[in-house]
Amino acid sequence: MNVKKHYESHLGNFYTWMLGDWVKKSEVFKSFLERQNLTPKFNKKAIDMGAGNGMQAIPLAELGYEVTAIDFNPQLLNELNQNIKKRNLPIQVIDGEITNFELWKDINPELILCCGDTISHLASFAEIKQWVQNCYSQIIPRGKFILSFRDYSKPLQDQERFIPVKSDENRIHTCILDYADEAVSVTDLLYERVKGNWEMRVSSYQKVRITLAMIQNLLKEIGFQIEILEDFQRMNLIVAAK
């Protein structure tokens, strides 16, 4: 199943629950932006690629950015619009693929970010490279580029492949990973209590098997200067400057 279909038919239905305390994580991200002095400096324009329910877009707007939020999942776009309405924030929402350059080529932001392992959802490393090149071409001079992603350099073996993500009295979510040379097959297994009975729902899709070294080298090759590299919310986070 492709990524878009996987989210529409399966993961999008419980993605926000899976994330946990959305408000707290959003506040942590806002604090990170303030601590690293990543507040608006130039034209105040920012693009949140794969914005989901707004965990990054909301704090960006609260800090004064004029945010364009792009995502392809109807469930998460609905949640994003609700979160925007609750806070009365000026965020432009675009329903579409982040690789569709026509959707955002004329914005020329001072900040582009793509968080939550979204870049591994693209079709290939070649597509990731083309997307990063497009981002570089559109960010204004001295603008910033923020990525967060997982490092898949070390394949998980045997029982390690089964990752307990989250559970409560009504849901149990387990993620199962299978490694190939250039891809990782991801299976999201959900047990959900429905009218007193447990039901199993399962769906799989593929991610590009990226590594920290691959992304660092790609950014440098294209022309970015890496300024920050740290672990953030269990992912690698890079801040690079044009």
List pLDDT tens digits, range 117-159: 999 999 999 999 999 999 999 999 999 999 999 999 999 999 9
Spatial contact of 133 and 242, defined as CB atoms under 8 Å apart: no
Confidence band for 114, pLDDT divided at 50, 70 and 90: very high
Confidence band for 53, pLDDT divided at 50, 70 and 90: very high
Spatial contact of 151 and 236, defined as CB atoms under 8 Å apart: yes
Please tell me the predicted confidence (pLDDT) of residue 90.
87
Q: What's the CA gap between 33 and 118, in Å, rounded? A: 19
- Could you please report the per-residue DSSP string of 182-221? SEEEEEEEEEEEETTEEEEEEEEEEEE---HHHHHHHHHH
Please tell me the predicted confidence (pLDDT) of residue 227.
98
Q: What's the CA gap between 156 and 97, in Å, rounded? A: 30
Q: What's the CA gap between 209 and 131, in Å, rounded? A: 16
Residue 36 has pLDDT above 90, yes or no: yes
Q: Which of 14, 210, 36 is nearest to 113 (CA)?
A: 36
